[in-house]
Amino acid sequence: MEESKKEKKQDNNTDKEQTLIEHIEELRKVLIKCLIAIVIVFIPAFYLSPYCIDFLIKTIVKGKITLNYFAPMEVFLIQLKISLVIDLLICFPYLAKQIWSFIVPALYDNERKFIKSIVFISSFLFIFGVTFCIIFILPFLINFGMSFSTQNITPLFGISNVIDLTLWMSLLFGCMFQVPLIVNMLIKWDIISYESVSSKRSYVIVFLLIFAGLFTPPDIISQLMLFIPTYLLFECGLLFSKKKKEKKVK
């Protein structure tokens, strides 16, 4: 009897090890497919990068100034950065599909529906945040910077500074536009209550001001341009959660 029990335990352990190895092997295949897709798409993305840079400059600067570069390889390195961004954007549906196919067998139907809705809403908010930043925020910052020019002070903007600022601010706005979703999820999962969040707005304001101060250029305008939309989005998340709560009560 004891020997048979030991054999069963060994068989169970062997099955678990095989299952773990199979999962690791499947994950390796998924990662390889994703990497191959990124490498393949990077080449056409590199040829698209100059057009993307021209579009960003026309949208942000609007021909009011001429951008300059100060090192022989500076523009080439910028094109590599933009190429990687374009590459990831083009590959995102394929990458998401591969990752989804890996995790979906372990999910229940309700979990699948929930994750799909979250990914869709989060992607929409991120794109909206990036678009809002490029169309409204960055041109405003450029104009604000140019407002200090005088007869003796001429603005000379480097292309690296403008593109790096564009990428960084776009990423920040895309992430900060997730605030309504995060607030709604925290309240929906009963991690925090609506009453608790709404009564501690002052703490939220302080946190957002500190966050904006740490992750934006060291000027009050950039900080306010990030803080104000983020706080408004926080209030939108609270309002949406409140309406959902009232519907449940009814």
The parent domain of residue 148 ranges over 2-177
Q: What gap in Å lies between CA 149 and CA 221, rounded to an integer?
A: 17
Residue 95, pLDDT above cutoff 60: yes
Residue 27, pLDDT above cutoff 90: no
Flag whether 8 is in a domain. Answer: yes
Flag whether 190 is in a domain. Answer: no
Section 48-57 average pLDDT: 93
pTM of structure: 0.81
Among the ranges given (35-49, 87-101, 177-191), the one the predictor scored with the smallest mean pLDDT = 177-191
Flag whether 101 is in a domain. Answer: yes
Flag whether 65 is in a domain. Answer: yes
Give the pLDDT of residue 116. 80
Across the chain, what does the average pLDDT equal?
Answer: 84
Percent above pLDDT 70 for the chain: 90
Flag whether 170 is in a domain. Answer: yes
Section 33-40 average pLDDT: 94
Residue 70, pLDDT above cutoff 70: yes
Flag whether 172 is in a domain. Answer: yes
The answer to whether 238 and 198 are in contact (CB under 8 A) is: yes
Q: What is the pLDDT of residues 100-113, one digit of tens each?
A: 888 887 777 777 88
Q: What is the pLDDT of residues 202-222, one digit of tens each?
A: 888 888 889 888 888 777 888
Flag whether 240 is in a domain. Answer: no
Section 38-51 average pLDDT: 94
Flag whether 203 is in a domain. Answer: no
Angle, alpha carbons 54-165-237 (nearest 5°): 110
- Number of structural domains in the chain: 1
Residue 125, pLDDT above cutoff 70: yes
